[in-house]
């Protein structure tokens, strides 16, 4: 199978498994990715999703040998124009280039090994970005740095990517998935309703005025006040004092 879906505790791991093609995505792989993220959204056991690639590479993007992807409403990779309801993390080893970079940017957070390389390598072949590359990167690292990457297609190695905020955790080579799972499990240990509502408020507020953003935050916050009351009661009973860990909900 070109894509595997596995639930480990409260974390779903979606793996692109075409190492012979550097995990490049053809049409069957895009369709499998579409199904995997639909399954994740519907899976009550999965609280956080991790996207990774097999064989020491994240993804080289679209498979230019088959060049059979379809510009579908969900994105040509099957999911990149969707916003799933739960947090996602990219575990990046090796190359995350062209559409591979766009898939990594789709995730909320990125954990990358010291051998990771990012870049819009499709610039050399005149292939446009259709899976969020021109929109998500500027929101993440700013206009100037984004245009530098978009217009030149140059490789950005892991250390620079970490410095400019393209990745959130820089880890030793080979430990990317383990570190991403550890981060995912930490997030999964928090009260899920509030994690999801705060995350959604961030996305809905992007590009809006501060006034509109505050109204969005208030609307989502009001929906989880029952969970907030339960959390306040736990604190009042002595849990989490002094910043100490709190048992998972």
Residue 126 has what pLDDT?
Answer: 94
Residues 49 and 104 in one domain: yes
Residues 35 and 73 in one domain: yes
Catalytic residue check, 193: no
User: Exposed e or buried b for every residue in 56-76, given b needs 16+ CB within 10 A?
Assistant: bbbbbbbbeeeeebeebebbb
pTM: 0.93
Catalytic residue check, 122: yes
Q: Is 84 left (phi over 0), alpha (psi -120 to 50) or beta?
A: beta
Residues 142 and 118 in one domain: yes
In a domain, 182, yes or no: yes
Residues 59 and 39 in one domain: yes
Rounded to whole angstroms, how far apart are CA atoms 208 and 101?
26
- Scanning the chain, the segments in alpha helix (DSSP H) are 27-42, 99-106, 133-141, 143-152, 158-163, 176-188, 192-205, 210-222, 225-236
In a domain, 249, yes or no: no
Q: Which residues pair with 5 in a beta bridge?
A: 14
Residue 145 has what pLDDT?
Answer: 98
18 neighbors 60 (Cβ within 8 angstroms)? no
Residues 27 and 118 in one domain: yes
Question: Catalytic residue among 31, 44, 122, 178, which?
Answer: 122
Domain carrying residue 128: 3-188
Q: Which residues pair with 59 in a beta bridge?
A: 96
Phi, psi of 123 (to 5 degrees): -55, -35
Residues 12 and 74 in one domain: yes
SS3 of the chain: helix, strand, coil, percent, to 5: 45, 15, 40
Residues 6+ apart with CB under 8 A from 118: 92, 96, 97, 101, 104, 149, 155, 156, 157, 161, 166
Q: How many domains does the chain have?
A: 2
In a domain, 26, yes or no: yes
The owner of tokens 């075409």 is 18
Residue 69 has what pLDDT?
Answer: 94
Residues 12 and 33 in one domain: yes
Residues 97 and 129 in one domain: yes
Tens-binned pLDDT, residue by residue, of the chain (249 aa)? 899 999 999 999 999 999 999 999 999 999 999 999 999 999 999 999 999 999 999 999 999 999 999 999 999 999 999 999 999 999 999 999 999 999 999 999 999 999 999 999 999 999 999 999 999 999 999 999 999 999 999 999 999 999 999 999 999 999 999 999 999 999 999 998 999 999 999 999 999 999 999 999 999 999 887 776 676 676 667 666 566 566 655
113 neighbors 175 (Cβ within 8 angstroms)? yes
Residue 1 has what pLDDT?
Answer: 82
Question: Catalytic residue among 31, 74, 102, 160, which?
Answer: 102
Residues 6+ apart with CB under 8 A from 185: 9, 10, 11, 48
Rounded to whole angstroms, how far apart are CA atoms 149 and 166?
11
């Amino acid at each position: 199978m070109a894509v595997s879906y596995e639930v480990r505790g409260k974390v779903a791991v979606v793996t692109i498994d075409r190492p012979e093609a550097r995990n490049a995505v053809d049409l069957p792989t895009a369709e499998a990715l579409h199904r995997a993220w639909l399954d994740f959204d519907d899976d009550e056991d999965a609280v956080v999703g991790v996207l990774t690639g097999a064989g020491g590479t994240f993804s080289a993007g679209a498979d230019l040998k088959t060049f059979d992807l379809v510009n579908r409403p969900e994105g040509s990779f099957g999911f990149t124009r969707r916003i799933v309801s739960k947090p996602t993390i990219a575990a990046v080893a090796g190359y995350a280039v062209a559409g591979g970079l766009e898939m990594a940017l789709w995730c909320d957070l990125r954990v990358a090994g010291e051998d990771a390389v990012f870049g819009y390598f499709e610039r050399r072949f005149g292939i446009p970005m259709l899976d969020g590359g021109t929109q998500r990167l500027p929101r993440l690292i700013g206009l100037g740095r984004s245009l530098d990457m978009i217009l030149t297609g140059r490789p950005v190695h892991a250390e620079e990517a970490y410095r400019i905020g393209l990745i959130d955790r820089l880890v030793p080579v080979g430990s990317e998935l383990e570190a991403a799972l550890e981060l995912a499990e930490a997030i999964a240990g928090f009260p899920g309703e509030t994690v999801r509502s705060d995350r959604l408020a961030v996305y809905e507020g992007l590009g809006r005025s501060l006034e509109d953003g505050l109204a969005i935050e208030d609307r989502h916050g009001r929906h989880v006040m029952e969970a907030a009351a339960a959390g306040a009661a736990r604190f009042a009973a002595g849990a989490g004092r002094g910043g100490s860990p709190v048992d998972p909900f």
